Structure 1
Amino acid sequence: MASPSSEQVDDPRPGLLHDSEFLKLWVGQSLSQIGAQVTFLAVPLAAVLVLHASAAEMGVLSALVRLPMVGFLLFGVLVDRVRKRPVLIWSDIGRAAVLLLIPLLYFADMLTMAVIYVVVFVLGVLSVLFQVAYRTYIPHLVPREHLADGNSKLQMSESVAQALGPGLVGGLIKVVSAPVLIIIDIVTYLISAVACWLIRTPEERPAPDDDVRSVYKAVWEGYQWVMRQPLVRPLAIGTAFYSFFIMGAMQSIFVLYLLKGGPNLDAAWVGVITATGGAGAILGAGLAIRVTKRLGIGPTLLWSTVIGNCALFLVPLAVRPVGLAVAMLAVSQFVVWACNQIFIVNNLTLVQSVTPMPMIGRILATIFSLGLIPAPLGALGAGLLGEWLGLRTAIFIAILVGALVPILALARSPIPKLKEIPDPVS
């Protein structure tokens, strides 16, 4: 197996920092990620504070956010058959248009949970399409030897956004209503669309294939490929459990738990806690390459999972007084997101490196779908379980399963022994 040279690992940044085409994508995504993080927090706050949503309604809302993830498999095949840049542009424009409905209807005093349900579902469909095209487009735009650095920079942008977005919400929520804050996201999506439009790197048109049967065949081939690969299969399985129990179940009632079901914090503290997670994510994205160089890609994947997942248990253990609860939640978010970013950079780099280029869209989509399709069911289950057993108990059960299974999946695989980035496999 081959690995990048020490020069490429130590300091690949000058190549990408002088690559104007990559910079266009990076700058556009950096801004749109900030807006997306604002919406990620502003929508549930609008549901709870403006529309007084119940735990069950929050479960439905979270499920609808994640339900479009079912489309990952189909979108992966379709993206492999078209140019990626136009998909990015029109997805951004569509997301800006649909989000505009929330502030408009709020000003007209016509905003309801039904409207928010529709908006988040359509937004989710367009976001899934964008994510598949985005991750598939990077290997076309960035040389293979710079993939890890490109992924690290893009994850750094998401990390900075995770810190700035909730911080904006926490700072503005006392003077600006949550639905109005979504305008920030609308503007950043439009900026991202313009940035993608300015990219001029040639992109070959894939061979056309309109046979519907071949679409389903391609989806199945992608799934089989993932399940056959000993380096990819445990990542997909672990991500599926994490998605169902953490991203789906726990996250769907997390805001409600903080506000009303556990520590009973003010809305401003929710923004502070989430922003602390963003600070951890910035650190993790910045350290990802250095940690990987020191430990190797396999041990890095394992230990980032172990440490990050164990830190989740601080969430249901957080108790008043407010200062103690905020400290425990902030530490949890910081560690979890630092480890998540280290894991994501290495996960993407490993999968992009071992996957044959003609299959990369469907392979990434298969992994995303295995990781994200279970989330809506987890969200619905958490909402019902929260009303039945209480929010704290529901969150503890979700973390117990969602944190431990991924650790076992990685520990029992060949991944911990993998030191170098491998070559593509057939």
Structure 2
Amino acid sequence: MLRLPAFALFWSAATLRAFGGSVAGVAFQVLIVSVIEATPLQISVLSALGVVPYLFLGLIIGALMDRWRRQRTLVLTSIGRAVVLAVIPVLLLTGTLGFWSLAAVVLTLGVLTLFADSAAQPLLPRIVPRDALVMANARLGQSQTVAETAGPALGGTLLNLVGAPLLFAFDAVINAVAALLQWRIAVAEPRPAPRAPGRHVGHEIVEGMRYTYGHRTLRPLALSVHTWFLGNSIVATVFAVFVLRELDLPAWAFGLALACGAVGGFAGAVIAPAIGSRFGAGRAILVGRALVVVPWVVLAFAPLTADSGVAVVLTVVSAAQFLYGLSMGIEDANDIAYRQSVAPDGIQGRMNSTIRTVNRVVFFFGALLSGVLMTFLGFQPTMAIGAVIFAMAAVVVLASPLRTARHDDQPDAPE
């Protein structure tokens, strides 16, 4: 894949931004907890601000990405991130960083990330042949996994060595370099036809939703991934509390278990293209959807307690995280590649934004539901419910035409 010049530039920029984001993520946590000494309510607000842009702007920006030049959008968002990140050292050095200024930074970065994500997914099919989309997404997934694994450790080290101002300045430079790489991508993006009289962006959003949920295979794919996000919001919320509080796992062991999940994700992304090629996109997605049920069933019913011992708890939790990551690595590359290959270019932005926006709405309310379930049922019953929901996501694939879908299916134009 890296022999394709356009993809090599796209991948390099995405990898740099992933590492920069993971490194800076540590510094953001330190700023929130130690520098501005945010209250629990303020921490929850800052966390929500990362999702808010998707809830209010996701569908609109998705529609715009079917009319704007996606490469130019990527370049401008990287430049914008570089500028915003460069502001943080200035605020730190002048002693003016507070809750509201940090909230403005987080919200702005969230909006820029939304633009970047909305442009990147529909741009990839323009720079990569359809038969190479799974491999391309697998390469991007591998980079993301490595960044999420090594980035926090590197960020913690750099934070101790150079301090937060230089760390954010470093991430700003990374985004500037990413913008330069994205600017060099050679891609033809035809100008869309002008809107018919009386049509506006609202009509295009509705058209994208109708296409997504009216499509023979995209509809079950979207419903399956929405269901998966509901299950994931529940288990992701309960996991850390269960492991750290109920099982009393030390922080170093918790970090090691998470690292096993990252290793599983990398392994899944490595084998995803082979599984998709051999069994088809639908069956590859089904494998990932079914496999993710296993680790949460194990954690829900395993007779684990704080008295089981660190070695036993760590072994079970690490194995569960590995399978969890493996399932996501397998399905992500095949899921995204199939969407990119089956939808025509003119509706890619709206189709992807429709699925992505609903996913985040589902995740938001699922996380709230998880808190209620933990309070009234306990940790392990809550994970069991998450496992059942994951199983439902697999059943949607199994019982639909998506099961036999292949990556070489021809794109279907919107009606």
Q: How does the TM-score come out when normalised to structure 2? A: 0.84
Q: Which of 80, 85, 90 matches 2:66?
A: 80
Q: Is the 8 A contact 2:249 2:313 kept in 1?
A: no
CA drift of 1:162 comes to 2.2
The reply to whether residue 406 of structure 1 matches residue 406 of structure 2 is: no
Q: Is the 8 A contact 2:137 2:333 kept in 1?
A: yes
The reply to whether residue 20 of structure 1 matches residue 8 of structure 2 is: no
Question: What aligned pairs does 1:6-405 form with structure 2 within 5 A after superposition?
Answer: 16-40=1-25, 42-44=27-29, 46-48=31-33, 58-70=43-55, 71-102=57-88, 104-106=90-92, 111-169=97-155, 182-209=168-195, 213-246=199-232, 248-251=233-236, 263=248, 265-266=250-251, 269=253, 271-313=255-297, 319-320=305-306, 321-382=309-370, 388=375, 392=379, 396=383, 399-400=386-387, 402-405=389-392
Gaps of 5+ in 1: 1-15
CA drift of 1:227 comes to 1.1
Secondary structure in 1 matching 2:193: coil
- RMSD across aligned positions (CA): 3.5
Distance in 1 between the 2:196 and 2:163 partners? 47
After superposition, the Cα gap between the structure-2 partners of 1:419 and 1:363, relative to the gap in structure 1 and judged at 3 Å, is: closer
Name the % identity.
27
Q: Is the 8 A contact 1:55 1:383 kept in 2?
A: no
Distance in 1 between the 2:234 and 2:30 partners? 18
Matched residue type, 1:79: M
After superposition, the Cα gap between the structure-2 partners of 1:230 and 1:179, relative to the gap in structure 1 and judged at 3 Å, is: farther
Distance in 2 between the 1:289 and 1:61 partners? 37
1:3 alignment counterpart: none
1:425 alignment counterpart: 412
Q: Is the 8 A contact 2:246 2:305 kept in 1?
A: no
After superposition, the Cα gap between the structure-2 partners of 1:177 and 1:191, relative to the gap in structure 1 and judged at 3 Å, is: same
After superposition, the Cα gap between the structure-2 partners of 1:420 and 1:156, relative to the gap in structure 1 and judged at 3 Å, is: same
**CA displacement, residues 365-386 of structure 1 (integer Å, 9 cap, x when unaligned):** 1121222233333345556776
Q: Is the 8 A contact 2:299 2:380 kept in 1?
A: no
Secondary structure in 1 matching 2:322: helix
Distance in 1 between the 2:381 and 2:160 partners? 30
CA drift of 1:334 comes to 2.2
After superposition, the Cα gap between the structure-2 partners of 1:119 and 1:315, relative to the gap in structure 1 and judged at 3 Å, is: farther
Q: How does the TM-score come out when normalised to structure 1? A: 0.82
Distance in 2 between the 1:48 and 1:343 partners? 35
CA drift of 1:207 comes to 3.3
After superposition, the Cα gap between the structure-2 partners of 1:56 and 1:403, relative to the gap in structure 1 and judged at 3 Å, is: farther
**CA displacement, residues 226-266 of structure 1 (integer Å, 9 cap, x when unaligned):** 111231112212222333442x4554676666666763533
Gaps of 5+ in 2: none
Secondary structure in 2 matching 1:281: helix
Distance in 1 between the 2:311 and 2:170 partners? 30
Aligned residues: 408
CA drift of 1:325 comes to 3.9
Distance in 2 between the 1:131 and 1:100 partners? 21
**CA displacement, residues 359-402 of structure 1 (integer Å, 9 cap, x when unaligned):** 1111111121222233333345556776x559946963773465
After superposition, the Cα gap between the structure-2 partners of 1:274 and 1:17, relative to the gap in structure 1 and judged at 3 Å, is: same
CA drift of 1:302 comes to 0.7
CA drift of 1:164 comes to 1.9
Matched residue type, 1:37: S
**Structure 1 range deviating more: 123-132 or 194-203:** 194-203
